[in-house]
């Protein structure tokens, strides 16, 4: 009896029934088979050793697939549990899932005191067990047998988990001397695990309920190569150094004050200068692209949000309304700018010839976030969106998308983000009823987005079922210098608000039609974007954006006047900077300027003053020799070209 196996590239191969994914891999190449961790069988991840008994579509998963990685890490959790049981007999186990990077296991050590001092011992044990190359063996068990097993073992957590499972769907996995309740899948054997690091230890209530016992959550990460673990740990170190909260303080960009309120950033002069430059940069590009700046207030009448639907959806979880003292009218801090912009659209009749209209606003909005969720500039309660709303005809969606993509790519280019993919979120094809707007318009908009992205040559991933109920969208996922992914730049189609606000235009047929609304924000918010930018460039901003582009370092106070004359001249060229007139040794002044990451240091002493020159040092690069003022201005012009 033969089965058909369809591979991701469309190739169909025949195998005898009962062939495993591993054997399929082996038929392709031995190298591939050696690297197969698991397999996606008809969309479900299976053990590579599990027999295939029907026609299937098959994707072999390796370390390079996210699902391969998560299988690897989850399997590592079993191995860590085995090590813990060997070292600390009587340990009980909760759950051990993979997470974004690595895995954890919740364990009950009983009365045993446990701390990070024990990490090394556990890591060694894990590697020792890994070397035995024990297979992860799957076994179906009856509920009664499963209960008996963990009763004998005395593990009430596993018994609690079994309680919620149906007889006939329970599986055990055994590797080496350890058996766990698990539905799988797992990697073929423990030999794949070559490097391990226990990361941290925390408390976690069983099932997340504080009425239950607090277990010890052990976080760890494993890799198939020691070098990959070393790279990862290096990356973490680097990320720590680049943490925008740390650099924001050191570079005096922003601060928080408990008196002002949590999650409400204060932009310090240097941060404000940087932010202002970002705003001007985008404003200029937007005016060129046909956007019209608008300005709207920070609050809006409750009625506005009833119309928009936000009140019903988010009202209870938002900052509570402000009441007028006399009439008792209720106003909300605005959580988004869209409703205000809809009202701007309605200020006059629009014809098909007027469209598209594009309203842009750096609109500050306020959203209530739980205090535990707040994080530097990336999760705040008040932030400014580089927002715009485009109102267009359905047939203009594609062109508008292409124009927004151009703008986003222009922004990324100017700021040094080179690695990005576009994620296109479409309807769930299985369930089309939950979406608002006509089928015809959705189909047109979805195709428009796909075509626009293709014509712009974007690397894309299509996600079905990820669209909002009110329209499909395109998000830019950007990889920063450390390879971390950030979501920046969203372009979102909206059929909902035009409906709710009864927006109209007169068509060429003289009939009333609904415009399509597109929300877009290349930065997302200035706060979040600046945070990402700081971490991406480690505080070494592109020269055009640097709050201070140079610092003049006079060797002694005798050259203060000369320093001042240089700075006055540079001012005329719109080149901004500082003078360090402190009574300090030049070596110290240079070191301090390096810490502040100021791009250029201009050292002036007797020789420079006599020759009418400056000695130039570039941050992180060192001496560039002595330049005349004109030469330095030329250099700056060259380097600031966006
Ligand atoms: Zn498992
Ligand atoms: Zn919007």
Side by side, which strands form the sheet with 44-46? Answer: 12-16, 2-6, 56-61, 38-41, 44-46
What proportion of the chain, given as a percentage, has pLDDT over 90?
A: 87
For residue 23, the SS3 value is: helix
**For residue 340, how far is its CA from the centre of ligand 2 (angstroms)?**
9
Q: How far is the CA of 578 from the centre of ligand 2 (A)?
A: 40
487 - beta bridge partners? Answer: 477
Q: Is 338 tagged catalytic?
A: yes
Residue 106: active-site member: no
* Closest-approaching ligand to the CA atom of 496: 2
- Ligand found nearest the CA of 341: 2
d(CA 198, CA 148): 32
Q: What is the pLDDT of residues 574-633, one digit of tens each?
A: 899 999 999 999 999 999 999 999 999 999 999 999 999 999 999 988 899 999 999 999
Residue 519 in tokens: 């929300």
Distance 520 CA to ligand 2 centre (A): 7
126-154: per-residue pLDDT in tens?
999 999 999 999 999 999 999 999 999 99
pLDDT score at 642: 55
For the segment 204-214, what is each residue's pLDDT rounded down to a tens digit?
Answer: 999 999 999 99
**Looking at residue 257, what is its pLDDT?**
96
Per-residue model confidence as pLDDT tens digits over 487-523: 988 999 998 999 999 999 999 999 999 999 999 999 9
Q: Residues 308, 314: contact at Cβ < 8 Å?
A: no
- Is 513 labeled as catalytic in the residue annotation? no
Tell me if 584 sits within 8 A of 596, measured CB to CB. Answer: no
Indicate if 385 belongs to the active site: yes
Question: For residue 205, what are the β-bridge partners?
Answer: 214
Reduced to 3 states, what is the DSSP secondary structure of residue 498? Answer: helix
pLDDT digits (tens, 9 = 90+) for 10-41: 999 999 999 999 999 999 999 999 999 999 99
Q: Considering every ligand atom shown, identify the ligand nearest to the alpha carbon of residue 81 and give its number.
A: 1
Catalytic residue among 106, 180, 386, 387: 387
- How far is Cα 27 from Cα 50, in angstroms, rounded to an integer? 16
What separation in Å is there between the alpha carbon of 518 and the centre of ligand 2? 8
Instruction: Give distance in angstroms: CA of 361 to centre of ligand 2.
Output: 10
Q: How far apart are CA 460 and CA 470, in angstroms?
A: 21
Q: Which long-range contacts (CB under 8 A, 24 or more apart) does 437-444 make?
A: 437/470, 437/471, 437/495, 437/496, 437/499, 438/495, 441/394, 441/495, 441/516, 442/471, 442/472, 442/495, 444/394, 444/395, 444/397
- The DSSP code sequence of 225-246 is SHHHHHHHHHHHHHHHHH-HHH
Structure tokens at 65: 């697939």
- Closest to 38 measured CA to CA, from 59, 54, 55: 59
Q: Are 92 and 156 in contact (CB under 8 A)?
A: yes
Q: What is the mean pLDDT of residues 474-486?
A: 89
Place 84 in a pLDDT band, splitting at 50, 70 and 90.
very high
Question: Is residue 288 scored above 70 in pLDDT?
Answer: yes
Closest ligand, as measured to the CA of 338 = 2
Given this model, what pLDDT does residue 436 score? Answer: 83
pLDDT at 175: 97
What integer is the mean pLDDT of 74-84?
A: 98
Catalytic-role residue among 217, 358, 403, 473: 473
Identify the nearest ligand to the CA of 180 by its number: 1
**Cβ-based neighbour number of residue 162 at 10 Å:** 19
Q: What pTM was computed for the model?
A: 0.79
Read off the pLDDT band of 416 (50, 70, 90): confident
Specify whether the CB–CB gap between 196 and 127 falls below 8 A.
yes
Mean of pLDDT over the chain: 94
Using an 8 Å Cβ cutoff, are 312 and 306 in contact? yes
Tokens of 4: 């058909």
Q: In whole angstroms, how far apart are CA 232 and each of 243, 247, 557?
A: 16, 21, 48
Cα 252 to ligand 2 centroid, rounded to whole Å: 31
Task: Give the Cβ contact number of residue 619 at 10 Å.
Answer: 18
Ligand 2 centre distance from Cα of residue 389 (Å): 6
Q: What is the per-residue DSSP string for 149-202?
A: HHHHHT-HHHHHHHHTS-TTS-EEEEETTEEEE------SBGGG--EEEEEEEE
**Taken in order 523, 527, 529, 530, is the CA torsion positive or negative?**
positive
Tokens representing 199?
């990361």
Whether a cis peptide bond, with omega within 30° of 0, leads into 330 is no
User: Residue 636 has what pLDDT?
Assistant: 92
> Residues 540-556: what's their mean pLDDT?
93
The catalytic position among 182, 338, 342, 392 is 338
Active site residue 342: no
Residue 519 among the catalytic residues: yes
Question: So what's the pLDDT on residue 103?
Answer: 97
In the chain, the domains with their CATH numbers are 2-62 (3.10.20.30), 67-238 (3.30.980.10), 261-298+334-537 (3.30.930.10), 299-333 (no CATH), 550-639 (3.40.50.800)
Of 519, 589, 596, 597, the active-site residue reads: 519
Q: Tell me which ligand sits closest to the C-alpha of residue 334.
A: 2
Give residue 416 CA to ligand 2 midpoint distance, Å: 26
136 CA from centroid of ligand 2 (Å): 50
- Tell me, in angstroms, the distance from the centre of ligand 1 to residue 172's CA: 8
Token pair listed for 63: 């370390």
Closest CA to 48 of 62, 61, 38, 58: 38
Compute, in angstroms, the gap from residue 8 CA to the centroid of ligand 1: 26
**Which residue of the set 367, 403, 500, 596 is catalytic?**
367
Catalytic residue among 385, 396, 423, 492: 385
The mean per-residue pLDDT over the stretch 39-56 comes to 95
- Annotation marks residue 398 as catalytic: no
Average pLDDT, integer, range 363-380? 93
- Report how far apart the first and last C-alpha atoms of the chain are (Å, whole number): 65
* Ligand nearest to the CA of residue 470, numbered in listed order: 2
Per-residue pLDDT averaged across 202-231, rounded? 95
CA distance linking residue 105 with residue 96, whole number of Å: 4
Interatomic CA distance for residues 254 and 392, integer angstroms:
38
**319 DSSP assignment:** P
Which of 78, 158, 310, 389 is catalytic? The answer is 389
Q: What is the whole-number distance in angstroms between the Cα of residue 375 and the centre of ligand 2?
A: 23
């Amino acid at each position: 009896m033969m089965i058909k196996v369809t591979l991701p590239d469309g190739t169909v191969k025949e195998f005898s029934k009962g062939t495993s994914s591993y054997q399929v891999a082996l038929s392709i190449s031995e190298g591939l088979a050696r690297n197969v961790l698991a397999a996606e069988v008809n969309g479900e991840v299976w053990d590579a050793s599990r027999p295939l008994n029907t026609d299937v579509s098959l994707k072999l998963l390796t370390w390079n697939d996210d699902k391969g990685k998560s299988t690897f890490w989850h399997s590592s959790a079993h191995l860590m549990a085995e090590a813990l049981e060997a070292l600390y007999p009587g340990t009980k186990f909760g759950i051990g899932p993979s997470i974004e990077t690595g895995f954890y296991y919740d364990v009950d050590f009983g009365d045993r005191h446990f701390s990070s001092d024990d990490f090394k011992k556990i890591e060694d044990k894990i590697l020792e067990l890994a070397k035995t190359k024990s297979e992860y063996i799957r076994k179906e068990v009856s509920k009664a047998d499963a209960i008996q097993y963990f009763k004998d073992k005395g593990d009430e957590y596993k018994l609690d988990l079994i309680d919620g499972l149906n007889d006939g769907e329970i599986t055990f996995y055994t590797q080496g001397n350890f058996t766990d309740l698990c539905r799988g899948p797992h990697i073929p054997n423990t030999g794949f695990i070559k490097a391990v690091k226990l990361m941290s230890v925390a408390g976690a209530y069983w099932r997340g309920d504080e009425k239950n016992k607090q277990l010890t959550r052990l976080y760890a990460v494993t890799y198939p190569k020691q070098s990959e673990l070393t790279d990862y740990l290096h990356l973490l170190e680097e990320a720590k150094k680049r943490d925008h909260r740390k650099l924001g303080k050191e570079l005096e960009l922003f601060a928080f004050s408990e008196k002002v309120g949590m999650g409400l950033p204060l932009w310090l002069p240097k941060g404000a200068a940087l932010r202002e430059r970002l705003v001007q940069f985008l404003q200029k590009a937007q005016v060129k692209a046909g956007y019209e700046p608008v300005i709207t207030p920070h609050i809006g009448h409750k009625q506005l949000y009833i119309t928009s639907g936000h009140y019903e959806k988010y009202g209870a979880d938002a900052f509570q309304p402000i009441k007028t003292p006399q009439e008792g009218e209720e106003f909300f801090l605005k959580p988004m700018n869209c409703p205000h912009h809809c009202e701007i659209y309605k200020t006059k009749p629009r014809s098909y010839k007027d469209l598209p209209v594009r309203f842009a606003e750096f609109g500050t909005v306020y959203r209530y976030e739980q205090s535990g969720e707040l994080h530097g500039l990336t999760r705040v309660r008040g932030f400014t969106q580089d927002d715009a709303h485009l109102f267009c005809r359905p047939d203009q969606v594609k062109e508008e998308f292409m124009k927004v993509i151009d703008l986003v790519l222009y922004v990324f280019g100017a700021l040094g983000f080179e690695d990005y993919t576009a994620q296109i979120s479409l309807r769930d094809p299985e369930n089309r009823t939950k979406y608002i707007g006509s089928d015809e318009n959705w189909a047109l908009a979805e195709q428009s987005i796909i075509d626009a992205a293709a014509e712009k040559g974007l690397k894309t991933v299509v996600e079905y079922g990820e669209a909002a109920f009110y329209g499909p969208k395109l998000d830019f996922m950007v990889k920063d210098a450390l390879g971390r992914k950030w979501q920046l730049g969203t372009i979102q189609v909206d059929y909902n608000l035009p409906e709710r606000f009864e927006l109209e235009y007169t068509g060429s047929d003289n009939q009333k039609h609904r415009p399509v609304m597109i929300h877009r924000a290349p930065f997302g918010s200035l706060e979040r974007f600046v945070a990402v930018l700081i971490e991406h460039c480690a505080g070494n901003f592109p020269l055009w954006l640097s709050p201070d582009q140079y610092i003049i370092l006079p060797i002694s106070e005798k050259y203060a006047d000369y320093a001042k004359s240089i700075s006055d001249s540079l001012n005329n060229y719109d080149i901004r900077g500082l003078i360090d007139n402190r009574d300090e040794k030049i070596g110290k002044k240079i070191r301090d300027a390096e810490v502040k990451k100021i791009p250029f240091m201009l050292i002036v002493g007797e020789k420079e003053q006599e020759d009418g020159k400056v000695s130039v040092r570039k941050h992180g690069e060192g001496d560039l020799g002595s330049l005349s003022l004109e030469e330095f201005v030329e250099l700056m012009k060259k380097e600031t070209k966006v």
